[in-house]
A and B are shown apart, each in its own frame.
Chain A
Amino acid sequence: MDLSYTPEEEEFRARLREWLAKVLPALPAAPSPADWPGRRAHDLGWQRMLYDAGYADVHWDSSPTTRLIFLEETERAGAPYVGANFVGLLHAGPTIAAEGTREQRERWLPPILRGDEVWCQGFSEPDAGSDLAALRTRARRDGDDYVVSGSKIWTSQAEVADWCELLVRTDPEAPKHRGITWLAMPMDAEGITVRPLRTLAGSAEFAEVFLDEVRVPVGNRVGAENDGWRVTMVTLSFERGTAFVGEVVACRRVLGELARTARGNGRWDDPVLRRRLGRLNAEFRALWRLTQWNVSEAEASGGVPGVGGSVFKLRYSHARQELYDTAAEVLGPDCLDLDRPWVLDRLSSLSYTIAAGTSQIQRNIVAERILGLPKGR
């Protein structure tokens, strides 16, 4: 067991730090959350800077440890996260890289890396959430096109995306996992309606996407017809291991700020609150170590992430909610003021035990795939 980094990794860290210190002060301020075109431009601009500096493909071609260092340092420095590039860099891009034809890779991957094109994700549907394979959006073949009708939900960046990685049902007669196909849908096609969804935090973070006879060229299919479930699983397992590196770093920073605030406003003298903060320190220290453990596992297995991701996500999503509940205790009555720090974060944190696989589904995964317990009837 060894927690130290190689000289090459340390050098990568030092160069990255130096670069961040140079470029970040010149970065324009982040636009308001409601300004979608502004956010798109900001996030793509950042990706372009990464591209020019040689960091664009760090999520794809680097070792898990290098990725860990990249995410740790960018978060420490206060650099933007992937933002609007999330689906392109971490879901659609890796899928195309793994399963696409050479032509498809050449068409779609460079614009993602250069920060020219934004992708969104059309997976979930109103009646297909945790049970994603129950999706019903239909695609029928008509000449060189698929004609797609149905609706998708929880689609982030739908308003500003150029492409949508779309799961459709191409064989309604087959068992549910076997009749699904993966398509790249251009978001400017006829028949697409985007309706923003307002979250409980008040902002429109994602949208519903309605599809009415939308024509998608057959050449935009990645993988074989009806093989989309397998193609998708490649995507979903891609970034486990390093998925939450930046967030854990951020949580540890917030925790320090909380403790200092509590010292300033007198709440620190309450031993119950103080020890709760101490426990959170233990929690996030452990989560950082668990991240390093999972990354080391991924490194040893040739970059293939294990099921450790589910273990991590279960613990982390709960810890982060606990962090902001504790923040509310530090704030006292100010926790009801939306203009105070952490109040919106507390609201946003309510999604962590739901998004990307609810905690209940994650427990099923842990119990069945790691512990080998039988599937229920």
Chain B
Amino acid sequence: MRFRLTEEQRALRAGVRQLLERRFGADALRAAVARPGHLDRDLWRELGAAGLFALRLPEEAGGVGLGLPEAVLVFEETGRALLPGPVLATHLAAGTVPGAAAGETVVARVDGPLVEWLGAADTVCGDASGAVPLRSVDPLTPLHRVRGDDVGAPDPEAVLLTAAEQLGTATRACELAVQHARAREQFGQPIGAFQAVKHLCADLLVRAETARAAVYAAALTADPADIAAARLLADEAAVRGARDCLQVHGGMGFTWEAEVHLHLKRAWARAQRGGGSTESEEVLAADLVA
């Protein structure tokens, strides 16, 4: 048993992080927030060229030939970086929708009653007829509401990769909270020296690391109950993590200017995918008496 990242997996993660830091840094993030619904097509093609969408296609089909564990590491990074766009939908469509793998075609995907990025997409998987735009809480996730309630069973891979993105958010929220707690001084010392703040940060890490074990294991087993567990833990780590991060930031956390709200809003948006948490809870309850 070697339940830890291999050298290749570490290198992959570091490579994706570098690419995203270079191509989607703080300025690009601000620009994206200022233009809701706009997708940077150049960036999209660059992501395609880097193999982000074709990651799991076999090499014979022009893909990278990697597996679900590697995809989880990549989605952890896109989640962490707040990368906008239908990354998940396009990744899942690579191999079936022409141009998706290369980042030439932008693919949206109906997920239950919602579609993300419908306006910017070239094509949509699922029935999006009668879709109505809504004023999205998350400035980086434009949303349409689909009429009717044609909600099929959620795709386990989509649920798992969403959990990976949530894990990225949880990890980032912990880093941001710790950075702020070390730098911000009140009463003559860093606020991170106060136990009340320290304990919020510790809980951020505990939730993120527990979720990490669940998400990575689910990527290895691809077992439906493991995936449901990963999802619940990762949603909790991301949503509560972003909220605690906001709390540690105090008044600044409540501003538009600070990055924190973007993580929370994105985590909320992702938590709606795949039938929401009740679906996963029922899967896990049924597993107990199977």
Contact = CB atoms under 8 A, between A and B. Distances in A.
Contact of B3 (A263, A293, A314): A293
A314 B221 contact: no
B221 A278 contact: no
Contacts of B189: 374, 376-377
Interface string A262-297: 010000100000110111011101110110110111
B198 A1 contact: no
A316 to B, nearest CB: 9
Interface in B178-205: 178, 181-182, 189-190, 192-195, 197-199, 201-203, 205
Contacts of A368: 198
Contacts of B232: 279, 282
A328 interface: no
A333 B148 CA distance: 44
Given A285-B225, A366-B206, A1 B285 contact: no
A340 to B, nearest CB: 20
Interface in A350-377: 360, 362-364, 366-368, 370-377
Interface residues of chain A: helix, strand, loop or mixed (majority): helix
Given A282-B232, A296-B3, A374-B192, A360 B217 contact: no
B289 to A, nearest CB: 5
B96 interface: no
A289 B216 contact: yes
Nearest to A3: B220
A259 interface: yes
Contacts of A363: 195, 198-199, 202-203
B22 interface: no
A290 B289 contact: no
B202 A277 contact: no
Contacts of B288: 255-256, 258-260, 277-278, 281
Interface string B12-51: 0000000000000000000000000000000000000000
Interface residues of A, number: 55
Nearest to B3: A296
Interface stretch (B74-82, B110-118, B267-275, B276-284): B276-284
B258 interface: no
B214 interface: yes
B159 interface: no
B165 interface: no
Interface residues of chain B: helix, strand, loop or mixed (majority): helix
Contacts of B226: 285
- Select the residue from A282, A290, A371 with max chain B CB neighbours within 10 A: A282
A24 to B, nearest CB: 26
A329 to B, nearest CB: 14
Contacts of A131: none
Given A263-B289, A374-B192, A286 B213 contact: yes
A1 B220 contact: yes
12 contacts: A1-B4, A3-B1, A4-B1, A259-B288, A278-B282, A283-B233, A286-B211, A286-B213, A300-B2, A311-B209, A363-B203, A374-B189
Interface of B: 1-6, 9, 69, 174, 178, 181-182, 189-190, 192-195, 197-199, 201-203, 205-206, 209-214, 216-217, 219-221, 225-226, 228-230, 232-233, 278, 280-289
**Chain A to chain B: the 8 pairs with minimum beta-carbon distance, closest first:** A278-B285, A259-B288, A282-B229, A278-B284, A278-B281, A275-B281, A363-B202, A286-B214
Given A283-B229, A373-B178, A374-B192, 17 more contacts: A1-B9, A1-B220, A2-B220, A258-B288, A260-B289, A263-B289, A278-B287, A281-B285, A282-B284, A285-B226, A285-B229, A286-B230, A292-B1, A299-B1, A363-B198, A371-B178, A373-B197
